[in-house]
Amino acid sequence: MQNKIFLTLNHSRLGLCLLGLLTLLALCPVTIPALVYALGSDWNQGFDHPMQGGDHLLTMIAVGVWAAQLRGRAIWLLPLTFVSVMSLGGLAGAAKFSVPNAEAMILLSCLVLSVLIVNQVQFNIRTNLLIIAVFAFFHGYAHGQEISASANLISYTLGFVCATLLLHGSGIVTACLVMLVCAIVFGNQAHAGEAATAVDTAKAAANTQPETQDKGAVQLKEIAVTEDGQVTDLIGIAASASQGDVSREQFEYRPFSRSGELVEVVPGLIATQHSGSGKANQFFLRGFNLDHGTDFITYVDGIPINLPSHAHGQGYLDLNSVIPELVNNIEYGKGPYYAELGDFAAAGYSKLFSVDKLPHALAKLTVGEFEYYRGLLADSLPVGRGNLLYAGEFNFYNGVWQQPEDSQKFNGQLSYTLNEDTWGVSVFAKSYTNTWTATNQIPQALIDNGTLDLYGTIDPSDGGKTNRHSFSTKLWNKGNNWKNDANIYAVYYDLDLYSNFTGFLNDPVNGDQIHQFEHRVQTGGNIEHTRFNKLLGFNMDNSFGLQLRHDEIMNVGLDRTINRQFLSTVSRSNVGETSVGVYLKNQTYWHDKVRTIAGLRGDFINNDVAVLDTASHDPFINAANSGHRNQVLVSPKFSLALGPWHNTEYFINAGYGFHSNDARGTTLRFDPNSGAALNGSAARITPLASSRGAEIGLRSNFIQGLNTTLALWWLESSQELVFVGDEGTTEVNGKSVRYGVEWNNAYKPTDWLTLDADLALTSARFVDTPDGETGNLIPNSVGRVISAGATVVAPNGLFGSLRLRHFGDVPLDSSGVFNAGSTSIVNLGAGYRQKHYKMEIDVFNILG
């Protein structure tokens, strides 16, 4: 009787499940060969493995049958739980951990699942998931033990995960078909009175439901934030598993040695420093050596910080102008799936937002080893109906080097914010200046033979100075079913950077020091209009955005110098770069558990390059390397969010993105050093380099206090052409493919303890083996990133934070013969806090 009523009342859901699974299975002959080609033979081996063992095969299908038998959320939860826990077991097996009685547990799983299916046993959902999880671990462990030592772990794992999901789907389809046939064959034998009773009961239940609010109104979901700043519910809000938001309270107790390390709150991102405190960090994310920012865009209070056609590197990202104590929250995302993001956002993005006001005045003094001094004064006060905030920071540091760094940094910030019920405005004025002396990398051989000390330098005059001054305003307003957001900004920036990376290799007399320089005025603005409405009965949000930016770069170039004194010119140019971006974004709520986000973005860029001089001083070469280039690029985006079921939401994302190339490289015809003509891809590269990516993932709060995300991603770049500011020429690399897995966890078991652990594994390769190379690995791509931490905030005022940062699997050449090894850093912060004061001690690299 119960089975008949279920089939009668839920035939549409059954049909949709059946249709979806049959469609997935029908696409396998097309998708599987494509995946085999893209991911290689290791993926194929992983895919074949579950098909070869009878016990594995039966268990995978049985899980699908039982899921269909349990119905409802179990159809999705059981297979996904099995695959997730099986992957963990696979890692344990591959790592050669000893797990006793694994084969016995696999045989037991066949027997137990058979009994459960035959007897139609149904426990509560958590018990069902626990049973599945236990058996899944042992099946995964057996898989992992049989992985070849030479196999690529990520590719192999993706293969057997896909095969397992298909076998689960086969079991679900089989069970659904059997139930459908039974309904057709035996349905006519049911008593009409029983069916009528069931229908009448359903109608009565519907009639007793309370009146709901106006269905035409769109309700925006509230984000709850705990006292420690963790966002507890991004489910139903985020567009992907790799998107997130971190509030100030989450990183307040983290030890930071530099402002650029703020973006390490983005899981899987590494920020390093290699040439003095005033130079931008180097960033690594998703297999990209982002150098100083390419393919990872960062906004601070609405201003894009990455600088195109920069003297040192494309997309240069310098966060030294940020005062960490004034950052309110950091939003982030990874992948090219977001319509509102354009240039430099292929790998991901971050957005830093400043506080509007402070709860009390702030005076902070920090003293550390190696003549480290930092002071901060900040306060806010009500002015009119808004709040005025002002702050000043200084930072002096000499460092461990034989040549003192003599870093002198100054930051100032002034802002006014007014927020009313239906509108608001913020105005920011910021100023930053820095001077420093840098100790750059030195040859290991000179250390080994005693010529140089470990902390010595080849050129004691390396270093630089930089300034950044900005003014911006943000405005917003809203109505019953619409809202507007806008900002405009103007920035002045300059840089003089002196570097000697090769000693006396090229010039045995004067040395190889170079001077990179520029002066820039950056102006721009963004506006977005969003309407919340309904079409054909479905709630939806429609957004239209327009983004404008112009960079006027005056006298950007490269000189040869000695002790910061001019020797000769390599290249000098004036560059004007204008970009226009428009986008449409639609978010539709098709069901309370199904929503889509579709976007279409168009970008136009125009480069105007006037070469002033080159090493040849030839007017013909100057004119030939000058010119105009422009390009239009259209980038579609799509995201599908399913759920939540048991506080777990699932995502499928795909999209196209891009980064711009240095404008000087787009008009380059002759090498500015030698004057030789450039041919092929080294000459006149395109202004925009496209990329495309996809991702599947989940976000779960199933376990109370634990926020976890899991994402499998893939990203293809059409070209890896890089304009090398150190030489003034274009470095030619090929098309590349990257893929990987990211698993992020934040757990708060008590009010005073917060734990977090993140794992990112990546494979990065050129599609074709570069000329003259023996392999296709991408040098300097980080294949493994692990971060973990524990933060304690006791009620009596004591606090502490212990953090681990590890990265490794970094090839130095395309063959992988030379490897940078791995790095593990542990930082500790601890102290005591009361209402009006705080004392803290930070220890960096306590293991080193």
Centre a 10 Å sphere on the Cβ of residue 185 and count the other Cβ atoms it contains. Answer: 9
pLDDT average, residue stretch 242-253: 91
Q: Is pLDDT above 80 for 54?
A: no
Which residue's entry shows tokens 């966060």? 319
Handedness of CA 749, 755, 761, 762 (dihedral sign): positive
pLDDT for residue 433: 97
Q: Is pLDDT above 80 for 240?
A: yes
Lowest mean pLDDT among 32-41, 47-56, 432-441, 576-585: 32-41
pLDDT band at 194 (very low <50, low <70, confident <90, very high): very low
pLDDT for residue 804: 93
> What domains lie within the chain, and their CATH numbers?
2-207 (no CATH), 244-334 (2.170.130), 348-843 (2.40.170.20)
| Rounded Cα gap, residues 641 and 236, in angstroms | 8
pLDDT average, residue stretch 561-566: 95
Which tens digit of pLDDT belongs to each residue from 207-216?
333 333 333 3
| Rounded Cα gap, residues 57 and 60, in angstroms | 5
pLDDT band at 179 (very low <50, low <70, confident <90, very high): low
pLDDT for residue 223: 40
For residue 777, the 8-state DSSP code is B
pLDDT average, residue stretch 221-229: 42
What's the mean pLDDT when you consider all of the chain? 84
pLDDT band at 431 (very low <50, low <70, confident <90, very high): very high
pLDDT for residue 349: 96
Identify the helix (H) or strand (E) that includes residue 54. helix 54-70
Query: Do residues 147 and 153 lie in contact, with contact meaning Cβ atoms separated by under 8 Å?
Result: yes
Tokens describing residue 112: 């137990």
Which tens digit of pLDDT belongs to each residue from 76-111?
788 888 888 888 888 888 877 777 777 778 888 887
pLDDT for residue 769: 81
Which residue would you say has higher pLDDT here, 674 or 484? 484
Q: What is the identity of the amino acid at 454?
A: L
Nearest to 434 by CA among 453, 408, 463: 408
pLDDT for residue 215: 34
**Angstrom distances, CA of residue 466 to CA of 277, 318, 432, 517, 834:** 11, 10, 8, 10, 38
In degrees, rounded to 5, the angle at the alpha carbon of residue 203 between the alpha carbons of residues 197 and 208 is 125
Which tens digit of pLDDT belongs to each residue from 729-786?
556 677 899 999 999 999 999 999 999 999 999 999 998 887 777 788 888 889 999 9
pLDDT average, residue stretch 838-847: 92
Which tens digit of pLDDT belongs to each residue from 621-636?
999 999 999 999 999 9
Q: pTM for the full model?
A: 0.74
pLDDT for residue 232: 47
Which residue's entry shows tokens 């930070």? 842
Q: Which residues pair with 352 in a beta bridge?
A: 300, 330
Nearest to 699 by CA among 734, 634, 754, 743: 743
Which tens digit of pLDDT belongs to each residue from 476-517?
999 999 999 999 999 999 999 999 988 898 899 999 999 999
pLDDT for residue 132: 85
- Among 125-129, 223-227, 601-605, top mean pLDDT goes to 601-605
pLDDT for residue 721: 57
| Rounded Cα gap, residues 792 and 705, in angstroms | 15
Q: Is pLDDT above 90 for 150?
A: no
Q: Is pLDDT above 90 for 344?
A: yes
Which tens digit of pLDDT belongs to each residue from 697-726?
999 998 888 999 999 999 999 877 554 545
Q: Is pLDDT above 60 for 388?
A: yes
Burial of 241 (C-beta count, 10 Å sphere; 0-12/13-18/19+): buried
